[in-house]
Amino acid sequence: MVTAVSSPAGSSVSLAVDVGGLRLANPVMPASGTFAEGLDKVMDLNRLGAFVTKTITREFRAGNPVPRVCETTEGLINSIGIPSKGLDYFRDNVVPFYGAFSPPLVVSISAPTVDDFAAMARDLTVAGVAAIEANISCPNIEEDGRSFAMEPRLTETVTAAMRKATPLPLWVKLTPNTGDIVAVARAAEAGGADAVVVANTILAMRIDTETFRPKLGNVLGGLSGPAVKPIALRMVYQCADKLTIPVIGCGGIATPEDAVEFMLAGARAVQVGTTTFVRPTAMIDVIEGLSAFCARRGIADVNELVGAVVDGNTAPEEAEAVL
């Protein structure tokens, strides 16, 4: 549904959004794995819409063999392997750190089984944690290593188990490597998710032509950055059209215009990832640019952008109103 834009240019812009059980001051947050506590040295963390932590596991994990990262055209391929100091360390040391700031803390979790995911969601239902983001793109040892998010049945099962384990808002992060992301997203909704994050990295690889060896120690990795943006944008558009719960856009977002595109496609909020490695204050630039864009277009509330793409399903009078 397209909302008419009638506010005068230059008026103040409301950036507040309601996303998956949380009220955010603005729709911009980090993508899991691209944000850490040290960024408080280069930006005012209170300006972010939310914090999304690096994915944690219950036990200590050393991560994948090096090299873990390689560049490619318009992107980055990584195979980090979710190194983690464990749930207890995170709960005792990292949660208190974020308690000093105003944005809500969203904790990204990973686990090898349905029961383990549910137990992690339960054990992270503590003061200071505002929501759980379930990274169900990880291998599932109960299904011969297949990612939960590859299939609707597995997605609904693991989401439902976490839903029973915690009253916290539950966001489910999906993989673009499935054959039907809309079906998987609908399964997450059926399982009780409050929002879906679309999407994680795309499976990729590179080979060194001098050594004939893969450029990553784990051979395959996940492609992120500008190269994946058109694919992620398409997936957000498709999912937002079929879901009643919010979609959070993720994939190649580096500029305010990128954020606007994802919101027009139906995203209620966006996650900024790889570009933070290049420009640590990129999220602040996106927030400021999003506000400036709305002011320039006479948009009083950023929510008016959500799903406002003018496409074949948009009635002529609605298209005229938004333009």
- pLDDT at res. 141: 66
From the list 181, 261, 268, 180, the residue with the least C-alpha distance to 226 is 261
Classified as helix, coil or strand, 84 is strand
pLDDT surpassing 70 at residue 48: yes
pLDDT tens-digit series, residues 196-238: 999 999 999 999 999 999 999 999 999 999 999 999 999 999 9
CATH number belonging to domain 23-280:
3.20.20.70
From the list 13, 180, 19, the residue with the least C-alpha distance to 103 is 19
Distance in angstroms (rounded) separating the CA atoms of residues 178 and 186: 13
Predicted confidence band of residue 37 (pLDDT cuts 50, 70, 90): very high
User: How do 22-24 and 17-19 pair as beta strands?
Assistant: antiparallel
Q: Is 78 annotated as a binding residue?
A: yes
HSE of 87 in the Cβ direction (CA atoms, 13 Å)? 18
- pLDDT at res. 7: 38
Distance in angstroms (rounded) separating the CA atoms of residues 294 and 140: 43
Sort residue 266 into left (φ over 0), alpha (ψ -120 to 50) or beta. Answer: left
Residue ranges in the chain assigned as alpha helix (H): 87-89, 95-98, 114-123, 152-165, 181-190, 229-242, 256-264, 275-278, 282-297, 316-322
**pTM, two decimal places:** 0.94
Give the mean model confidence (pLDDT) for residues 161-166.
98
- pLDDT at res. 5: 34
Q: Is 80 annotated as a binding residue?
A: yes
pLDDT tens-digit series, residues 301-316: 999 999 999 987 776 6
pLDDT tens-digit series, residues 8-28: 344 599 999 999 999 999 999
User: Across all residues in the chain, what is the average pLDDT?
Assistant: 93
HSE of 195 in the Cβ direction (CA atoms, 13 Å)? 27
Q: Is 274 annotated as a binding residue?
A: yes
pLDDT surpassing 80 at residue 3: no
User: Catalytic residue at 294?
Assistant: no
Q: Is 242 annotated as a binding residue?
A: no
- Which one is catalytic: 138, 239, 250, 294? 138
Give the mean model confidence (pLDDT) for residues 78-96.
96
Q: Is 79 annotated as a binding residue?
A: yes
What the block records as the tokens of 142 is 């109960």
pLDDT tens-digit series, residues 265-300: 999 999 999 999 999 999 999 999 999 999 999 999
- pLDDT at res. 33: 95
Give the mean model confidence (pLDDT) for residues 160-180.
97
pLDDT tens-digit series, residues 98-157: 999 999 999 999 999 999 999 999 999 999 999 999 999 876 667 766 789 999 999 999
Distance in angstroms (rounded) separating the CA atoms of residues 248 and 134: 13
Look at 97 and 11; give whichever has higher pLDDT: 97
- pLDDT at res. 106: 98
Q: Is 147 annotated as a binding residue?
A: no
Give the mean model confidence (pLDDT) for residues 55-66.
95
pLDDT tens-digit series, residues 237-250: 999 999 999 999 99
